[in-house]
Structure 1
Amino acid sequence: MAEIQLRNVGKRWGSFVGVENFDLTIADKEFLVLLGPSGCGKTTTMRMIAGLEDVTEGEILIDGTTVNDLEPKDRDVAMVFQSYALYPNMNVYENIRFPLKVRGIDPATHDAKVRRASAMVELDEFLHRKPAELSGGQRQRVALARAIVREPNVFLMDEPLSNLDAKLRVSTRAQIKNLSHELAVTTIYVTHDQIEAMTLADRVVVMKGGVVQQVGSPTEIYDRPANAFVASFIGSPAMNLMKGTVSAGTFIAEHVEITGLNAPDGPLTLGFRAEDASLAGEAQGQINAPIYTLELLGDATMVSVRVGEALVSVKADKTFRAAIGDTVSIRIPSEICHLFNAEDGARLGG
């Protein structure tokens, strides 16, 4: 069992706040993703759990034991880094075996443990090779196997896929997903890639400026973002956000008029997902504007228009054809709209 508790954990360097009041319990065997842009505090949070950064305030508990003062080696966690951190003079077999030697594990068990870990990440045919002879994806799998062989209580993964190309990211992501199911070990995974977060996580923690913005399942965060920042960060494409004014239940902005809203009069930000809207007949929709750009995605065509300073997108059928500058009409039912406070971005109306 490896339940992790972060009790009002904070990290400061002088007057700079890296992480503020992080309070969360991570369940045994849970796959938790820390998601946010660069500099939001997600890696710092992971490094505090690992013991690589000191905690300025608060407590970190693993299995009910406070670990603030424990050395990294005594916390029974295994880390997988973005940079692989392999030993270039050792072959794959010895790289995977190294944690067993360092921890004084019975040498008679090493071969079986190494081969079990390498089989899990499909490295058996590469055990004799040096890291320089491997591709980026293979090196990352060596790093994964080296963490697996430890049989730790907790896996910590810091952007492990960011150095891989798009195709390798997809296949390695699937491998990590399968491994997490097979190993059933508490895992904390740091990424700025919301697709990784949505596909891997049991729960996602969205962070900004060292502060937790929302915690929830991928579905909860996608369907009911807590604020405009979360809405803009989750989804591919991100949620469309438009600034405008509501009067008597009608939202008005440049090229836009949406009626039937349950919202107070005054300025607010309105959001909707590209896949929830659709193209309408001429002048029959709630947005009527010239096409700014068209993107053919294969399964759909992404049509974008400008609304004030915002670029607003809608998914059209893959057969849709038009030219930039042609006027389109976009249908946005009021029930698909998300409303946010114009000043602080907080969600309105539950």
Structure 2
Amino acid sequence: MAQIELRNVSKRWGSFVGVDDFNLTIADKEFLVLLGPSGCGKTTTMRMIAGLEDVTDGDILVDGKRVNDLEPKDRDVSMVFQSYALYPNMNVYENIRFPLKVRGIDPKTHDEKVRRASRMVELDDFLHRKPAELSGGQRQRVALARAIVREPNVFLMDEPLSNLDAKLRVSTRAQIKNLSHELAVTTIYVTHDQIEAMTLADRVVVMKGGVVQQVGSPTEIYDRPANAFVASFIGSPAMNLMEGQVSGGVFSAAHVEIRGLNAPDGPLTLGFRAEDAALAPQGSGQITAPIYTLELLGDATMISVRVGDALVSVKADKSYRAEIGDMVSFSIPNEICHLFNAKDGARLGD
């Protein structure tokens, strides 16, 4: 069992705040993803949990025990790094075995543990090879096996897929998902890739500038983003955001008029997702504008228009054909609209 609590945890270097007043309880066996852009504090948070960074303020507890002052080796966590961190002079078998030797585990159990970990990540045919003889995906699997072999209470994964090409990212992501189900170990996973977060996580913590913006299941964060930043960060494509004015329940911006909104008069940021809107008969939609670009995605066609300084996209059928510059209308029903405060980006309404 490994329940992790972060209580008012902060990290500062002089006047620079890396993580500010982080509070969270991570349940036993939960797969939690820390998500955000570079510099948001997600890796620093993970490193504090691992003991690789000192906590400036606050407490970190594992199963109710304060671990702030424990050395990394005493925290019973296993970390998978972005850089793989393999020993080039050792073959795959010895790389996987290394944590067992360091921790003084009974040598009689090593072979069974190494081969079990190897089997779980499909490395049995590569145990004799050196890291230089492996592909990037194979090296990452060695790093995963080396973490598994220790049988820790907590897995920490710091952007483990970022060095892989797109196809390998998909297959390795599936492997991590399956492993987390099979091992049932508390896992904290750091990424800037929202697709990884959405597909892997039980819960997602979205961070910006060292501050938690929202915590929730992937569905909750996707359907009800807490603010415009979360809305812009989650989804592929990200949520369309348009700045405009509301007067008498009517939202107006360049090429846009949406009526019947329950919103106060004044500046407003209105958002909607590309897949929730639809094409409308010419001139009859809430947005009518010339096509800025068309992207054929295979299963759909993405149509984009300009609304002020923003590009606004809508998914159409894969058979849709038009030319750049042609006029197009989009239907934006009120029920798909998300409303955000124009000043601080906070979500408005229920």
Same fold (TM over 0.5): yes
Distance in 1 separating the partners of 2:174 and 2:199: 9
Distance in 2 separating the partners of 1:223 and 1:250: 23
Partner SS for 2:110: helix
1:42 has 2:42 as partner: yes
Task: Write the letter of the residue equivalent to 2:291.
Answer: I
Task: Write the letter of the residue equivalent to 1:268.
Answer: L
Cα deviation 1:7-52 (Å, max 9, x = unaligned): 0000000000000000000000000000000000000000000000
Task: Write the letter of the residue equivalent to 1:133.
Answer: E
Q: Counterpart in 2 of 1:343?
A: 343
Where in structure 2 are the equivalents of 1:118-197 lying within 5 Å?
Answer: 118-197=118-197
Cα deviation 1:197-229 (Å, max 9, x = unaligned): 000000000000000000000000000000000
Distance in 2 separating the partners of 1:171 and 1:30: 22
Distance in 2 separating the partners of 1:249 and 1:184: 50
Where in structure 2 are the equivalents of 1:105-124 lying within 5 Å?
Answer: 105-124=105-124
Distance in 1 separating the partners of 2:138 and 2:259: 54
Task: Write the letter of the residue equivalent to 1:255.
Answer: H
Where in structure 2 are the equivalents of 1:233-244 lying within 5 Å?
Answer: 233-244=233-244
How far does residue 53 in structure 1 lie from its aligned partner after superposition? 0.1
Q: Counterpart in 1 of 2:86?
A: 86
Aligned-pair identity in percent equals 89
Q: Counterpart in 2 of 1:277?
A: 277
Cα deviation 1:305-342 (Å, max 9, x = unaligned): 00000000000000000000001000000110000000
Q: Counterpart in 2 of 1:54?
A: 54
How far does residue 57 in structure 1 lie from its aligned partner after superposition? 0.1
Q: Counterpart in 2 of 1:101?
A: 101
How far does residue 54 in structure 1 lie from its aligned partner after superposition? 0.1
Q: Counterpart in 2 of 1:326?
A: 326
Cα deviation 1:127-161 (Å, max 9, x = unaligned): 00000000000000000000000000000000000
Partner SS for 2:283: coil
Distance in 1 separating the partners of 2:270 and 2:60: 39
Q: 5+ unaligned residues in a row in structure 1: which ranges? A: none
Q: Counterpart in 1 of 2:32?
A: 32
Cα deviation 1:152-189 (Å, max 9, x = unaligned): 00000000000000000000000000000000000000
Distance in 1 separating the partners of 2:265 and 2:64: 50
Q: Counterpart in 2 of 1:296?
A: 296
Q: Counterpart in 2 of 1:206?
A: 206
Task: Write the letter of the residue equivalent to 1:259.
Answer: R
How far does residue 260 in structure 1 lie from its aligned partner after superposition? 1.3
Q: Counterpart in 2 of 1:310?
A: 310
Task: Write the letter of the residue equivalent to 1:278.
Answer: A
Cα deviation 1:56-111 (Å, max 9, x = unaligned): 00000011110000000000000000000000000000000000000000000000
Distance in 2 separating the partners of 1:335 and 1:115: 54
Distance in 2 separating the partners of 1:184 and 1:54: 28
Partner SS for 1:264: coil
Cα deviation 1:239-292 (Å, max 9, x = unaligned): 000000011111000000001111111110000000000111110100000000
Distance in 2 separating the partners of 1:87 and 1:276: 49
Structure 1 segments, 4+ long, off by >3 Å, are: none
Task: Write the letter of the residue equivalent to 2:331.
Answer: R
Q: 5+ unaligned residues in a row in structure 2: which ranges? A: none
How many residue pairs were aligned?
Answer: 350
Task: Write the letter of the residue equivalent to 2:192.
Answer: H
Partner SS for 1:7: strand
TM-score, with length taken from structure 2: 1.00
